[in-house]
Structure 1
Amino acid sequence: MFTSSAISRTAGLLTIRSGLFEASFNVKAGGRMSQLAHEVYGHVLVPMSDDPFDKQDWPRAGAFPLFPYHGRLKRAELVTEDQLFQLRGNPYRNGDAMHGPAQRRPWTIANHSASVLSMSLEYEADEDWPYSFRAVQHFSISDQRLDVTLSLLNRSARPSPAGMGWHPYFAVGSGVELFCDAHESWSLPTPGSKDDPTLTLLQSASFGIDPQAKHLSKWSRASFAIPTGCVSLLRTSALEYLVLHRTEAYLCLEPVSHLSGALSLPSHLRTSAGIMELAPGEMMVGGVSICVGRQPSSNNINEFQ
C-alpha cells in the first residue's frame, strides 16, 4: 500500500495523466476506474487485476459508478406510488438488488484527451431497473488532484426515483487514523425490521483506525495520512451522504446522493433520506475530488491547483 513508483500500465486500458498522477479505466467493465496512482505517493486506490470477474460479485478494487441508486434494495422490490416492480435480485446478496445496474453494463467513451475522460451509459429500462436513463462520468486530472463529476438524466416518459454515487476502494486498511467533518451519523434498520433510520449528531472528526461501517451525512472532507503525505476526498457539489466501510485491507469512502437502502424505505421517508424524483428530462449532478500531497487546511479546491 502506498509505495512509490507504483504506476503499472496494462494494455487495453484508457488512461489520463498529468505530471506524475495517472488514472486508468476499463470502460467496458462497468465504467470502472481500474487504477489511480502517483509516482511519489503510490497507489491511491487498490489496483484492479486483469482477471475476469462475476458482474454480480465485483472485485474489491478500483472504483465504480453507482447509478441510479446505491445500497441494498430489499427483496429486489421497487415500490412506487402506483406500482410494484420485481427486479432481478443478486444471488450473492440474499436476493436483494444492490448498487444499481450501471456497473454491470459497458459504457461508451464520450471524450478522451491526455488529462480528461468522459464516459456515458444510455440505459434502457429492463428487469434490473424499470426506467431509462443517461448516466455520465467525467474525470479530469491535474498534478495532484482528480476531479469526478457525475450526472443522471431521466430519459423515461414518467417520473423516476433517482440517486447516484461513486464507490472507490482506497489502498489503506486499518491502523491509519481517518478524519471526516461529517455532522451526522445514521443507524440503519436491521433486515426485516420496520423501524426507521435514526440520526445521531457527531461530536468528533476522528473515526479511529479500526475496521467499521458508518453511514454519514453533511460532510465536506475526509482525509487520512500516508507515509509521504495525505490523501483527501473533497465534496465539491451535491452528494451529501458518505458511506464509510473499512476492512483490514481497504477503505471505502463512497460519496452518494442518498442514505444507503433509502429505496426500501416507505415512500414518505425517501425524500428526507436523499432520494430524488426526477421528472422526464430532468437531471441531477454531483461531484468530488481526490487530492494527494500535503494536508489541506480548508475545503478550498484552489489549494490543489
Structure 2
Amino acid sequence: MSAAPSEALVELRHGVRRVLLAPHVGGAIAAFDETRDGRVIDWLRPATPAALAARDPLGMASFPLLPYCNRIRDARFMFDGALVDLSDDGNEFAHALHGNAWRLGWRVEEMSASRARLHLLHEPSREAAHHWPFAYEATQDIALDADRLSVTMSARNLADRPMPFGMGHHPYYPRTRNTRVHARVAAMWHSTPDLLPTHAGPHPCIDAMASSDGMSADAFDLDNNFTGWSRTATIAWPDEGRAITLSADAPFDHMVVYAPAAHPGLLCVEPVSNVADWVNLDVARALKGGVVLEPGESVSATFAWTTRIG
C-alpha cells in the first residue's frame, strides 16, 4: 500500500551532494547538485521557485516518461485491432507527448537519507483527464552516493490485455557556450517540422559527438531521436573542469538530444526505450524500440549519472 500523496519536496543527501525530488510534480527530480568551498555546482538544471510553484514538469531538472516517450502522431494509434485515441486528454500539444506520468502526482513509498522510492498507480477510470486506457503501476528507485545518482524505473501492466509501453527520463543540463556532448550512435532519426520521425540516417552531429572534442551544444539545431546508442553519453564543461556521464541499461537503447538553436539555454540528453511515434512506425523494432507488456508483465531498468570534477 502506497503512502499518502506527497505535496512537499523530498531531500536526499550524501556528503556534499544533494538531490531534491518533487513527487507531486510528475515524480520529477527538481535538483541535483553539490557544494564545494561554498560554491553550488549544478549537475542538472535546477527547478526555479516559479516552476515549483506552478508545478511545471517542464521546469524541473528531470522528469519520468511513461508509458511512452516523446510524441505520438495526432494523439492516435492502432493497437491490437483497436484505435487508441489520446486526444483531449489535457495535453496542450498537437501530438500526444511523453505519456501521462509526468502530469500526475507520485507517492513517496519508501525513504532514507540517500534513497527514495516513488510510486504511481494509473487507473483509467480514476484518471479521466489523462486517459491512457491501460491500467499500470510504476516505481522510481532513486539512490545517491559519493559518485553517482541512479534511477531504477519499473512498471507493471495491470490491465487485462496487452499494453504497448516505453519509458525514459527527460533531464535538462546547464548549457553554456563551452558545453560539449560526447556519445556514439549509429543513426539519427530525421523528422518533420513538427518533430515526427521520417527516416533514420546519417547526420554531421553523429561524427561530432564521437570526436575527441565532442559536439558543441551550439553546433546544431537538434530535437532528434538517435538509434544504435552505446548507452553512455557525457556532457562536459571543459572550461569548468567537470563532466557528467549518463549510462543506461537495456531497454534504454535510444537517446534523445534536444539542443534548440532558438533556446540556447536548453540542453537535454535523454535515455529512452522508444523513439517518437514508435507505435505508428512500420520499421524494425530495433530501429524504433518499445515493447508490449502482457497482463501482469513487468519491465525494469536502471540509468545513472556519474559525475567528475578535475
TM-score by length of 2: 0.82
| Per-residue deviation, 1:269 | 5.1
The question of 1:16 aligning with 2:12 is answered yes
More helix by share: 2
The equivalent residue for 1:212 is 221
- The number of residues matched between the two structures is 280
The equivalent residue for 2:235 is 224
What 5-or-longer segments of structure 1 have no aligned partner? 1-10, 296-305
Task: Sort the Cα spacing of 1:239 and 1:191 in 2 relative to 1 into closer, same or farther, 3 A.
Answer: same
The 5 A counterparts of 1:164-183 are: 164-183=167-186
Given candidates 251, 266, 286, the residue that maps to 1:250 is 266
Task: Sort the Cα spacing of 1:220 and 1:294 in 2 relative to 1 into closer, same or farther, 3 A.
Answer: farther
| Per-residue deviation, 1:189 | 4.8
| Per-residue deviation, 1:228 | 3.6
For 1:80-104, what per-residue CA distance to the aligned partner results, in whole angstroms no more than 9, with x for missing partners?
A: 131112213466422x210010011
The question of 1:93 aligning with 2:99 is answered no
The question of 1:280 aligning with 2:298 is answered no
Contact preservation (8 Å) 1:223, 1:231: yes
For 1:241-297, what per-residue CA distance to the aligned partner results, in whole angstroms no more than 9, with x for missing partners?
A: 01010141131011000112212324x6567411201101111122211111148xx
Contact preservation (8 Å) 1:174, 1:250: no
For 1:42-86, what per-residue CA distance to the aligned partner results, in whole angstroms no more than 9, with x for missing partners?
A: 01111112333376xx43331111000011112211311311122
RMSD of Structure 2 on Structure 1 (CA) = 2.5
Contact preservation (8 Å) 1:212, 1:244: no
Letter of the structure 1 residue corresponding to residue 113 of structure 2: A
Contact preservation (8 Å) 1:173, 1:246: no
The question of 1:151 aligning with 2:154 is answered yes
Task: Sort the Cα spacing of 1:174 and 1:150 in 2 relative to 1 into closer, same or farther, 3 A.
Answer: farther
The question of 1:259 aligning with 2:260 is answered no
Letter of the structure 1 residue corresponding to residue 115 of structure 2: V
Letter of the structure 1 residue corresponding to residue 28 of structure 2: R
The 5 A counterparts of 1:94-173 are: 94=94, 96-125=95-124, 126=128, 128-173=131-176
Q: Distance in 2 between matches of 1:256 and 1:225?
A: 21
Q: Distance in 2 between matches of 1:256 and 1:275?
A: 9
Letter of the structure 2 residue corresponding to residue 219 of structure 1: S
Contact preservation (8 Å) 1:236, 1:289: no
| Per-residue deviation, 1:15 | 1.0
Letter of the structure 2 residue corresponding to residue 265 of structure 1: L
The question of 1:35 aligning with 2:46 is answered no
What 5-or-longer segments of structure 2 have no aligned partner? 1-6
Q: Distance in 2 between matches of 1:183 and 1:174?
A: 26
